[in-house]
Structure 1
């Protein structure tokens, strides 16, 4: 007796252009590593965990390396603009691809708005009296136009954005190490006083480490963009493998290394760490004239880079879902190798989030932020399950099970902490709704005889 299974329309990226070069992919991977979460979000983690933030970033970095290893392996075998969503559909079913894809689309579009707001705050600090919303609108317009053009424009923007961020972080690390060693002119070595004094290495105890760990986990969001972009590269298989490898070791250098430098140079309980940002606070501690404002400029570049990358990523995820029969057909229209309707819709959604932040900041916008709070973790879990199912005929991937255990631990920790519990439940609710909608969509897909 023949069996019947639901068969989703298979995606073809043939209509997309292939204008991304290897240098673009490598820098996109770097740009994803050095994101706004590192420059802006790490201050709250330091304030909670103190010097133990170094341990928190090390543990979460190991988890991210495992996730990127899995995602890189699947994307090299099956290059697709749908990335983890396409892998989930292949490994688990269309409902899983639908759930992973649309939840991540909501996350990226909302992040576009948040990054626009953050960038506008920096500019209005330099130009007081100018309206924030106008700057957000200008940034959105620039990157919308950029993404409506050929994909190589996106690649060039990200290449130079990432190059500036890499140079800034590299210079920061060099200056920090010289200051710690006591050889930087005009500065004295702090020794280990900031690491062992003020409550020791674990001033917040286990709870402080947990808060720092949760903050560090979600600071790594954005690494997935390189596997989405791989489908539009000249050599997807070689490109994604190389880009993922370079991203993995740079995690240790940029994240863990810079956290170690910051907590050694600056007292962890300094108000400047949160108010000015940890990197600006560290440079101010060194007394380098104008360095703080220069770092603010780098943070602005990081936010604009993230806006550009998230507009790109959200449009390609939407395009991929539609091509596989998991979304409204209009979003799948391609012109000159670019899914322009998907780009426009993603930008409109992102700017809508900005409007909500001014119009309904305490209810609707707050609810939206909680809803996307744990989406990255949901995506990582789906990546791990997809990897297990796609590898089930081969040797059991031990490291994948280690990653699953790590993600389960993070879920438990989120449920324990009042500050993250709401996010966990809100994201869980959105995921459940999308899973039901995805299953209904799956039932409506063509049935093929196997």
Structure 2
């Protein structure tokens, strides 16, 4: 391997540049000096690093929280490196128990296949497909014999496995730990062995699994990978990790107006974190924005509108971003109805008595996914009919053709009878 001190001044400058880009927003690089040496060898020889991310397709859609690590991968691609994207179709049948107090439900083969297809459609909104090698880890895990598995498991002690916080907590509180769960970090680590990975990325909750890759590569006589941990990003509530189950997320496949409107509800104190971790703006732009906010020359509202527009531009296009901004200004800043409102028919059988319960209407029209969610929206004052707030979740309403029903700040439908 070509060492740092063997590089020309120009090559050393390139390595420093790459380190600065890679280090942006990361929590930890283990070990950083080894990364510097790997980059030095890459720059000197023109050999791209193999940078791995493993995805267990346990959820069908990608949100902004998921994109933090994907943007880091994209940065590696722009620096000339090769991404190894692993769809965990094998490990996904087990599920990583990280952060859970109990065994995660195992996915079926059909679940994994369906979710993996959705991931692939969405992930190339960020990654360059020409610099991404896609793998399914069943390619090398399924052929392992029982003897191979025994040999693999013999390379790590139970004491080492119990260093994982979630295992320790469950053991001390008497929560069950199934033996097969120990194999998840072993299999993820073995992925790095099979692909001879140089760098592996993951959130801070994946630290144990990333370091297991280093351990197993050493056991198999390979050069050890670098582990890079990226932070978890808080959701729109500003408190909890972004999650679909908590409803505090922005999905990258959502409509432009939805993305823009949701982004405008990001707490001011988190704006720069979102810019740093989840957008493609340069370090120079980020530093200028930070300085402007601190000096008061950039208004937080303007910075947030730029953030919202950036998300729409990244996941749709410039035209959609401009239209979403105009929609937001018209509807929410000027408190006017949008020019175009989707017309939705109410099934005749739902109006046999001439009226319909508010909660039922919201679910029938698909404005809320469940009765409980609809009830909460009404209780929170988020539902309006012809701009008049509806507050009784048990109430019934009589509709007429052309009524405007609004849920929250972004959902509008025109009733058709």
Shorter-chain TM-score above 0.5? no
Which structure exhibits the higher relative contact order, with contacts defined as CA atoms closer than 8 Å and separated by 6 or more residues? 1
- State the structure with more CA Rg: 2
Output the TM-score relative to the length of structure 1. Answer: 0.22
- Higher-helix-fraction structure: 1
